[in-house]
């Protein structure tokens, strides 16, 4: 099996946390994106609001997909982890995801959790996508 690890230089270094931002399985063409949060290169949360952090995490997701030769149009599945009761935050998170992801809509699961990657992190987005066909 041919596996490639993706770590875009514009994002924080995942190595100290034991992760790559994405892993590509070249046999299947699948891209597995680690949970993306609203961190800068220094591991600091950029925004204090759920809306701001969702925007930042979505931008990081898009950057990782591009570095892996994929795009939002190729997303097969998303998992969105939100601190707290997920139903209380859908009105904030859903429109931001729609704006960044557009159509077609992937399979999506929203999960409310007690904590995330850091005490200030409010949302984390992970994805499974496929790579674009060659010459696309």
Per-residue pLDDT of 9-67, as tens digits, reads 999 998 888 999 999 999 999 999 999 999 999 999 999 999 999 999 999 999 999 99
Q: What is the C-alpha separation between 67 and 9, in angstroms, rounded?
A: 10
* Residue corresponding to tokens 């100290």: 16
Average pLDDT over the chain, rounded to an integer: 94
Strand order in the sheet with 3-6: 3-6, 22-25, 30-36, 123-130, 75-83, 107-113
Q: Which CATH class is domain 3-130?
A: alpha beta
Confidence band of 135 (pLDDT split at 50, 70, 90): low
Q: What is the C-alpha separation between 133 and 19, in angstroms, rounded?
A: 26
Lowest mean pLDDT among 56-65, 100-109, 123-132: 100-109
Share of the chain above pLDDT 70, in %: 96
Residue 97: exposed, middle, or buried by beta-carbon count in 10 A (0-12, 13-18, 19+)? buried
Residue 108 sits at the vertex; the CA angle it makes with 4 and 36, to the nearest 5 degrees, is 45
H helices of the chain, where? 50-67, 90-101
Q: What pTM did the predictor assign?
A: 0.93
pLDDT at 1: 64
Residues 6+ apart with CB under 8 A from 133: none
Domain ranges, ordered by start, for the chain: 3-130
pLDDT at 136: 46
């Amino acid at each position: 099996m041919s596996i490639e690890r993706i770590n875009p230089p514009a994002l924080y270094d995942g190595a100290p946390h034991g992760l790559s931002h994405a892993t590509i399985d070249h046999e299947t063409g699948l891209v597995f994106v680690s949970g993306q949060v609203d961190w800068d290169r220094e591991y600091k949360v950029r925004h204090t609001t759920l809306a701001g952090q969702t925007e930042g995490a979505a931008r990081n997701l898009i950057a990782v997909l591009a570095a892996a030769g994929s795009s939002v149009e190729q997303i097969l599945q998303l998992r969105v982890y939100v601190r707290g009761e997920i139903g209380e935050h859908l009105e904030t998170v859903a429109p931001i995801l729609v704006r960044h992801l557009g159509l077609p809509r992937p399979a999506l699961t929203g999960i409310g959790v007690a904590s995330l990657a850091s005490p200030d992190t409010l949302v984390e987005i992970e994805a499974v996508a496929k790579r674009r066909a060659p010459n696309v």
